Chain A
Amino acid sequence: MAHSPAKERPICLNALVDLADRSVRYFETPPEIIRKFIGGRGLNMYYLYKFLNPGCDPLSPDNVLIIGNGLLTGMLVPNSGRHNVTCLSPESGIIGDSNIGGFFGPEMRFAGIDRLIIVGRAQSPVYLYIENGRIEIRDASPYWGLTCTGTQVKMKYDLGSDVEIECIGPAGENMVRFAATRYGLKNAAGRCGTGAVWGSKNLKAVVARGNAGLPVADPEGMLAKYMELRDYLNKSKVIGVMGRVGTPLLYDVSNYLGAIRTHNSQQTVFFNTLNAEEVHKYVDKMLSCYGCVVHCRHRNRLGGEGPEYTSEVMLGANIGVADTYQVIDLNNLVNDLGLDVSSTGTYIAWAVELFEKGYLDEKEAGYSLRFGDYPAMRRLISDIAYRRGFGDVLAEGSRLVEKFGAETAGFLIAVKGLPQSDPHDVRYLKGFALGIATASRGADHLRSRPTLEIFDLPSEVRREIYGGPIDPNPVSYNSKGRLVYFHENIYAAIDCLGICKFICHGFNSPRNLNYTHFRELVKLAYGLDFSEKELEDAGRRVIDLERLINHREKGISRKDDTLPARYFDEPMPSARAKGSRVDRQGFDKMLDEYYALRGWDANGTLPADRVAELNSLRDLP
């Protein structure tokens, strides 16, 4: 059944694709659910909760893979090119959810489908082709085995250069537990091993060609608003720098502080060869994602895109590689094979430390592992993606703690089974430490990243932003729960809307787009009025729901909202942050404050009435 996208297009049209019996069912999301969960990450979580059978194996056909666009994705709204890929994570066993930019999300909406919900497993490799509101399940055997770039080159040759493709590489096909879903050369739904779930379903790619327009309630108003916001954002200093050099600007800052994760967080300062100006010698041009006014993506001279701050540290400082060329080369390789940069860098650094400490010998590893050994690192990355030799072992990710002994978890920089994404050593900034501990998908900075307290803001401005008093001292344990609570809520709302965090309130800047802007934009796009409170509540509801799913799947509670032992026990060794560590009592205090604000009990679980509310929403038709 084809659905005509031109007539009376609903706000959110979903397609439930069963790869096992090759059926597709189309259905709309009711308006009352959109009001509660908005779209993007929120509705993805809603449908994950609705369709996922409790206790399923993430790599079994029962896992539900959801590719869902935000409410504003594709509109003429600054940086509105993002969507979320959601499933049960094969890496951590809890929710797997990853936000991705590029051009695929908008194209899928223009092709008439706002959300894909994929279940079952195809008998042989397939890809989905979406055009004019219709989904075809096609044979992908000619593309199986190709890298991410190779797949896209061949598909564009076969299908026309104007299609947009989201795909997996060899890592996803081989079900490496931290494989990424990729668009283009660099954009990735990298975290949580979403790519492995694609591989487990024999799904190589999703291709969209979008011919239909998204109706806009007030087109002239939207153009005027866009221009107003663009000019407002362009005044921001940090957005200007981001557009010139991208995220590597943070490297120098973190290094000065002495908080770069180096040699598996055994050290915290690294060479200045990875400073933004050094990286920039390898940059041809800065690029945008869909509708972006920032353009922070580098087209590098080694044939790829990047590196981001994250990749230059995770594939540089953390594994000891200092040469700029070599780091960019590793970044391109990891992207092409379809691995997650953060997890790959963390596991490799951990493996090197295991090797150094004697948990692992040369016989088992196949070759000696040393920090800074670029050829060995390059080889190991390929071995992981193709599951060769020791790479096959390391491809199992955080599950290896069981193999090497529980004490090795103390220096695996991961929370809830997911390695830390941010290259920032959180022992100094206590708000960051709480943020990665409570993040719903595991150790992740993009769930909260509370930075505003370190800016020199007047206390009444801080109070107004956060709705309560905030201690500006970044190393104190006071009021950090409120900080993380606020940031988690707004970031969840941003993910629901499909906007990039780089232009939003609270991410590196106290200005930029906030709930009021979101409200205006939703109104211009759909004529719907969501109040600021409704938007914030939706963000909060999403986090509640994620907690509920995590609790149901793996009993996630207070004991899991913690940090690797290294962050508690070992003080930072150098520079200005020297001597910092996270105090366990202070951490507990922050956690108490955070749970209280969320309305969760002291064990970090949802009260019964909230569970009942979420269940009643789930049970709606």
Chain B
Amino acid sequence: MPKKKQIYARPDLCAGCRICANACALVHRGEANPRLGAVRIRQNLIERYEFQEICRHCEDPPCVDACMTGCISKDPGTGLVIQDQSRCAGCWMCLMVCPYGAVGRDVIKEVAIKCDRCAGRKAPACVEACPTGALVLETREDAAEEPFFAEPTVAG
């Protein structure tokens, strides 16, 4: 099977604006709030980091195994890990097992928020919206490790 395009995050380019997450929430729910997007930016201004939490659509997805209602499944054709939100019970097991912290939660509706890589769109909204090129959709043979941040320097 030929390699499919994946969303790759480049945290060193991320300026922390949350536009990706807001665009995701907007196209999936018609509402603005980065917290409701399937991609999120984890940032701590004081600890000095920011990076994107985004679903890798794993080959062997732990969230599929963990889901008690069976609402998350791996589509063998497209390779996408898809969630049927109407059947989500809000138990947050998928959140707990995801090694990338990529599943979000809507605490008001009590459902998990999971990336569908914008199945119905030409390109994922987050990739389209990112102003700095910190999210890219491309085919990579072997994903190189992205640098997180430069080595801290003691000045003066």
Q: Which residues of A contact B (CB under 8 A)?
A: 6, 74-76, 103, 110, 132, 149, 152-153, 156, 161-162, 184-185, 210-216, 219-220, 222-223, 226-227, 230, 234, 281-282, 284-293, 295, 299, 301-302, 305, 325
Within 8 A of A (CB), among B13-69: 15-19, 22-23, 25-27, 29-33, 35-36, 44-46, 48, 50
Question: How near does chain A come to B127, taking the closest CB pair, in angstroms?
Answer: 11
B23 touches A76 (CB 8 A): yes
Is residue B149 within 8 Å, beta carbon to beta carbon, of the partner chain? yes
| 5 A–B contacts, CB within 8 A, in A order | A156-B44, A284-B149, A288-B15, A288-B131, A292-B131
Are B129 and A214 in contact, CB atoms less than 8 angstroms apart? no
Q: Is the CB of B27 within 8 A of A291?
A: no
What are the residues of chain A within 8 A of B108 when measuring CB–CB? 6, 132, 211-212
Residue with the greatest number of chain B CB neighbours at <10 A, chosen from A212, A222, A284, A285: A285
In the complex the two chains form, what is the Cα distance from A74 to B31 in whole Å? 10
Partner of A301, one of B25, B29, B33, B152: B152
For the complex, would chain A's binding face be called helix, strand, loop or mixed by DSSP majority? loop
Complex interface: chain A residues within 8 A of B9 (CB): none
> Judging by beta carbons under 8 Å apart, are B30 and A215 in contact?
yes
Identify A216's interface contact among B17, B18, B31, B35, CB under 8 A.
B31
A272 CA / B149 CA spacing, docked (Å): 29
Whether A286 pairs with B45 at a CB distance below 8 angstroms is: no
CB pair B129–A213 under 8 Å, yes or no, is: no
Tell which of B25, B35, B45, B106 touches A305, judged by Cβ atoms closer than 8 Å: B45
List of A residues within 8 angstroms of B33 by Cβ: 74, 110, 210-214
**7 closest residue pairs by CB, A with B:** A213-B31, A288-B17, A288-B15, A295-B15, A213-B33, A293-B131, A214-B32
Cβ–Cβ < 8 Å partners of A292 in chain B: 15, 17, 131
Output the nearest chain B residue to A79 by Cβ-Cβ distance: B17
Report the Cα distance A291→B36, complex, angstroms: 15
Across the interface, do A223 and B27 meet the contact criterion of CB distance under 8 Å? yes
- The interface bits of chain B over 126-140 (1 if a CB of A lies within 8 angstroms of the residue's CB, else 0) are 001101100000000
- Which residues on B sit within 8 Å (CB–CB) of A215? 30-31
- Contact: B129 with A223, CB < 8 Å? yes
Decide if B1 is an interface residue (CB 8 Å cutoff).
no
Asked if residues A282 and B31 are in contact (CB atoms below 8 Å), the reply is no
Contact B26–A227 (Cβ < 8 Å):
no
Q: What separation, in Å, do the CA atoms of A132 and B33 have in the docked complex? A: 13
The distance in angstroms between the C-alpha atoms of A153 and B125, with both chains bound, is: 33
- Alpha-carbon distance A153/B29, docked complex (angstroms): 33
B155 at the interface (CB under 8 A from A): yes
Chain B residues near A325: list those with CB within 8 A: 155-156
Whether B144 sits at the interface, judged by CB under 8 Å, is no
Residues of A within 8 A of B129 (CB): 76, 223, 226-227, 230
* Cβ A185 vs Cβ B46 within 8 A: yes
The answer, yes or no, to whether B150 is at the interface (CB within 8 Å) is yes
- Tell me the nearest residue of chain B to A73, going by C-beta: B32
B153 lies within 8 A of chain A by Cβ: yes
Contact B27 A226 (CB under 8 A): no
| Residues from chain A with Cβ under 8 Å of B27 in the complex | 219-220, 223
Indicate which residue in B36, B50, B131 contacts A230 across the interface (CB closer than 8 Å): B131
> Is B143 an interface position by the 8 A CB rule?
no
| Chain A residues closer than 8 Å to B106, beta-carbon distance | 211
Cβ contacts under 8 Å, B35 to chain A: 110, 162, 210-211
Q: Is the CB of A185 within 8 A of B45?
A: yes
Other 18 A-B pairs with CB < 8 A, given A211-B107, A223-B125, A295-B15:
A74-B32, A76-B26, A110-B35, A149-B46, A153-B46, A211-B33, A212-B33, A213-B32, A216-B26, A223-B23, A227-B128, A284-B152, A285-B12, A288-B131, A291-B22, A299-B48, A305-B45, A325-B156
Please report the C-alpha to C-alpha distance between residue A161 and residue B50 in the assembled complex, in whole angstroms: 13
What is the CA–CA distance of A191 and B12 in the complex, to the nearest angstrom? 33
Name the residue of chain B whose CB is nearest to the CB of A74.
Answer: B32
A113 to B108, CA, bound (A): 16
Determine if B44 and A161 form an interchain contact, defined as CB atoms under 8 angstroms apart: yes
A291 to B21, CA, bound (A): 10
Chain B: CB-nearest residue to A299 = B48
Note all chain B residues with C-beta closer than 8 A to A286.
15
CB neighbours of B153 from chain A (8 A): 301
Contact with A along B80-123 (1 / 0, CB 8 A): 00000000000000000000000000111000000000000000
Which of A162, A213, A226, A289 gathers the greatest number of chain B CB atoms within 10 Å? Answer: A213
Chain A residues near B128 (CB-CB < 8 A): 223, 227
Q: Which residue of B lies closest to A323 (CB)?
A: B156
Q: Identify A76's interface contact among B32, B44, B156, CB under 8 A.
A: B32
A152 to chain B: which residues have CB within 8 Å?
46
A212 to B31, CA, bound (A): 9
Chain B residue contacts of A219, Cβ below 8 A: 26-27, 30-31
Q: Provide the residues of chain B in CB contact with A290, threshold 8 Å.
A: 17-18
Nearest-Cβ distance from residue B151 to partner chain A, whole angstroms? 10
Closest Cβ–Cβ distance, residue B40 to chain A (whole Å): 9
User: In the bound complex, do residue A216 and residue B32 qualify as a contact, i.e. CB atoms below 8 Å apart?
Assistant: yes
Query: Which residues of the other chain, A, contact B16 by a CB distance below 8 angstroms?
Result: 287-288
Q: For residue B132, which residues in chain A have a CB less than 8 angstroms away from its CB?
A: 295
B-chain residues with CB within 8 Å of residue A74 when the two chains form the complex:
32-33
- CA of A295 to CA of B18, assembled, Å: 12
Bound form: Cα–Cα A291–B44 in Å: 16
- Listed residue (B12, B46, B107, B154) with the most chain A CB atoms within 10 angstroms of its CB: B46
